[in-house]
Each structure stands twice: as structure tokens, then as C-alpha cells.
Structure 1
Amino acid sequence: MGNASSMLTQYDIEEVQEYCNNLCSCGNAVSQQEIVSLYQRFCQLDRNAKGFISADEFLSVPEFAMNPLSQRLLKMVDGLNFKDFVAFLSAFSAKASVHQKIQFIFKVYDSDGNGKVSFNDLLEVLRDLSGSFISDDQREQVLTQLMKEAGYSRDSYLMLDDFTKVFGSTGLKMEVEVPVD
């Protein structure tokens, strides 16, 4: 795919749409209009027209840079090509399944990608979210108590199924509307 919106063909659009639909198994994860709008945004972010977006280019989006979890998200997005960019953002679509959203959240917490979330992984996220408002000792105490109340210990690992149990019944709402022209 080229670096200008005029170079996005109908074939490209359908290919991206099929790629995203296969990843989330939820039908039309993104519409063709959304793909065209996302391509224009992708081209704006890909300042050097390399065909992928770097972490620095992602940080040029103020809402992304201000997110307390931006450093964790950067690990997920650094070097995304256009198809993967759309797939990444499709987790925020109103059409995305709850399972797809839970998988995304799990990946944010599982920063080393080993398929399990440790006490330290949870502690890091809590540190990112709370900043300097509470001390490390307070964070550890809160998390230890929370884990204990949920039936886990500090040595426990949370798997995707654990996240599904917790988030699957919460009415998880994680959506960003893609403006279409």
C-alpha cells in the first residue's frame, strides 16, 4: 500500500477488512469508510512514508502520549504496518466482541508476552496508573489484598481465562469512534 490516500485501492480495503475480520471473528470489524479514514490518519502519522508507524510517531498523537499506559501500548504498536494498525484499533470498535477487547487488555498487562500476568505485571500497571500519588509499599499492600480477596496469591499467574471471568461480566465498554468523511 502506498503512502497517499489515493493509492488505497478497493482490493487493499477489502484485504484489510478481511484481515481484521479473521483476527476478531466478529464480522465487519471495521467498515470500508473507516478503513479509508484510518488510512489517511496512518499516512499522516507515517511522516517518513516508511509504511509503518514508529513509537515516536505514535507519541505525536496527544491523546496517546497523555495516556498513563502509553509506554505499555508503545510496545504493542511500534513498527505497525497499515493492516496491523487497523487491527490494533479494531479492538476499540463498537463492533468488536467483548472477547477481543479482553484479549487486548490482557496484552497490555502481559508486557513480556509470555501468556500470563504476574503480580509484578499487575504492580507495573498499577504504578503506571497511579503515578506518584501512592508509594510502592502502598501499591503492593493494595494489590496483595486485592489478589487475596480474589483467591490468588502473590505467586499466582493470571491467564486470559481469568481476565475473561473478571471482565466478561462487567459490561466492558472500550470504544473509540472513527470519524468518517
Structure 2
Amino acid sequence: MGNTVSVFTDDQLEAYQDCTFFTRKEILRVFERFRSVSPNRVPINMRDGKSRKIKIPYQELVTMTEIRENPFCERICHVFSEDGSGDMTFDDFLDMFSVFSEAAPRDIKCAYAFKIYDFDGDNYLSRHDLKETLKCLTRGELTDEEISFVVGKVLEEADLDDDNMLSYIEFEHVISRSSDFLNTFHIRI
């Protein structure tokens, strides 16, 4: 247990366990991954509030193999960084990995998926948000006409109150019918 004492206090580890879906060992593994992204910036000892102060810049985070190939890489970093900049503290990084862990429940994953797809941050998935989501998913391989067609079909199927956008409840209803959602919304550490 010497390694845990040198990185975090017991109180820090207990707090992390209480607010994530990780064991102490997994928290330390996530920390090692965090530190490996920027070893010169991140000290070995994260006591004394350093976990909330030291940030890894977005430009360095997007080089990680775990998120680099994800079409929502930029959105993920912005959503999980507390200030929305994409730069992450260890606390932000741990939250991200916790939500994307296999142990995180569907409702937590669904809430974060909604935030990631809500490009304008207005708590609805508008036509614009759905178009941006589709562009990310298809990596720009569809024409504007094809995107508009698919967005129209999504709204036709999922927009239960006919307001031309999806509320969180409508989005959650769609996700509940998706058997693949839990298999695709994860990152392994």
C-alpha cells in the first residue's frame, strides 16, 4: 500500500471511490494513465489539492489512444472539463473514465451522451445538434441532403411532442431501445 500513500491520501482515495465506479486500484491505474499523458506536468504526489489544480491541455489529451479515434473526441474533452475548455484536471479525467467505464449505469451514460450531442448547450437536441452529431458519426461522408434526410427521420421517430427537437426524456427513450448503446459508450483503462 506504499504506492497509494505516496500518490493520494486515504481520504482522497475514499472520496474518489465514493463518487466514481472504481476501486482504489483502478483509480491508481487511471492516475498512471493521466500522468503518462504529460509526465513533466503531473507530479507523482497529488496530495494538497493538486488533483484539482494541475491541468493537462486539450492538445495533449487528444493524443491519447483511448479517445483520439473517437469522432466525439473534442466534445468529450469539453464536456468533461469543468470549465468547458477541454483542459482536464485529474478529477475531470477520472470522472470521464468513470462515466465511460463498464460499471457506470445506463442512466449516467445516457445523461453524458446527451451533453456530448448537445453542441449548443441549450439542453435540447435541435436539428443543428443532430446534424453535427451525424457529421461526427459519419466523419463527413454524407452530403448535406443525406444528413437532412436522416435528421428528419430521427425527429419523425423520436420527437414525441413535435417541437422539432429532442428533449432529454425523448433522447432517453431512444437510448432505452438501443441494445448497442452500453457496448459502444465506454473506454477501457
Normalising by structure 1, we get a TM-score of 0.80
Q: In structure 1, how many angstroms separate the alpha carbons of the residues matched to 2:128 and 2:5?
A: 43
1:61 Cα deviation after fit: 0.8
1:62 Cα deviation after fit: 2.8
Change in CA separation of 1:128 and 1:110 when aligned onto 2, cut-off 3 Å = same
> Hey, what does 2:76 align to over in structure 1?
73
> Hey, what does 2:127 align to over in structure 1?
119
1:34 Cα deviation after fit: 0.5
Count of residues in Structure 1 that have an aligned counterpart in Structure 2: 167
1:5 Cα deviation after fit: 8.8
> Hey, what does 2:55 align to over in structure 1?
52
Change in CA separation of 1:43 and 1:153 when aligned onto 2, cut-off 3 Å = same
Q: Gapped runs of 5+ residues in structure 2?
A: 43-52
Indicate whether 1:43 and 2:35 are aligned: yes
Q: In structure 1, how many angstroms separate the alpha carbons of the residues matched to 2:71 and 2:34?
A: 22
> Hey, what does 2:171 align to over in structure 1?
163
> Hey, what does 2:50 align to over in structure 1?
none
> Hey, what does 2:45 align to over in structure 1?
none
Aligned to 1:121, what secondary structure does the other structure show?
A: helix
Q: Which has the higher contact order (CA 8 A, sep 6+)?
A: 1
Indicate whether 1:31 and 2:30 are aligned: no
> Hey, what does 2:103 align to over in structure 1?
95
Change in CA separation of 1:149 and 1:166 when aligned onto 2, cut-off 3 Å = closer
CA RMSD of aligned residues (A): 2.4
Q: Among 63, 67, 71, which residue is 1:64 paired with?
A: 67
1:33 Cα deviation after fit: 0.7
**4+ residue runs over 6 A deviation:** none
Q: Gapped runs of 5+ residues in structure 1?
A: 21-28
Q: In structure 1, how many angstroms separate the alpha carbons of the residues matched to 2:5 and 2:60?
A: 18
Percent identity, aligned pairs only, is 26
> Hey, what does 1:18 align to over in structure 2?
18
